Amino acid sequence: MIAQLFSARWLRAWPAPVMASALLLLAGCRSSGRPDANGASAFATGKYRNLFAEAGHSRKEIRARVDAAFQQLFHGDPATQTVYYAAGANNNGPLAYVTDIKSRDVRTEGLSYGMMIAVQLNRKAEFDAIWNWSKTYLYIEATNHPSHGFFAWHATTNGVSIDDLVAPDGEEYYVMALYFAAGRWGNGRGIYNYRAEADQLLSRMRHRPVITGKVRRRGPGQGTVTGGPLFDEEHRMVLFSPSSERNRFTDPSYHLPAFYELWSRWGPAEDRQFWAEAAAASRDFFVRTVHPVSGLNPNYAHFDGTPVNLGRGAIFSYDAFRTAGNWSVDWSWWARDPRERELSDRLQTFFESQGLADYGCQFSLDGMRQIESRHAQGLVAINAVASLAATHPRSKDFVEALWDTPVPNGIERYYEGLLYLMALLHCSGEFRIWTPHGS
Query: Does the pLDDT value for residue 328 go beyond 60?
Result: yes
Alpha-carbon distance of 393 to 87, in angstroms, equals 46
Looking at per-residue pLDDT, the higher value among 222 and 136 belongs to: 136
CB of 375 closer than 8 Å to CB of 422: no
Convert the pLDDT of each residue in 344-363 to its tens digit.
999 999 999 999 999 999 99
What is the C-alpha to C-alpha distance for residues 331 and 213, in angstroms, rounded to an integer? 41
DSSP alpha helices (H): ranges in 29-167? 42-45, 51-54, 59-75, 108-120, 124-133
Task: Look at residue 372 and give its three-state secondary structure.
Answer: strand
Decide which of 414 and 34 is more confident: 414
Residue 437 scores a pLDDT above 60: yes
Contact criterion met (CB below 8 Å) for 194 and 187? yes
Q: Is the pLDDT of residue 312 over 50?
A: yes
For the chain, the structural domain boundaries read: 22-427
Q: Which residues are catalytic?
A: 109, 319
Interval 177-231: pLDDT, tens? 999 999 999 999 999 999 999 999 999 999 999 999 999 887 666 788 999 999 9
Question: Is 22-427 a domain of CATH 1.10.1760.20?
Answer: no
pLDDT value at residue 44: 95
Taking residues 159-167, report their average pLDDT.
95
Q: 72 near 62, Cβ under 8 Å?
A: no
Q: Which residues contact 74 (CB under 8 A, 6 or more apart)?
A: 82, 83, 84, 114, 117, 123, 126
Decide which of 244 and 184 is more confident: 184
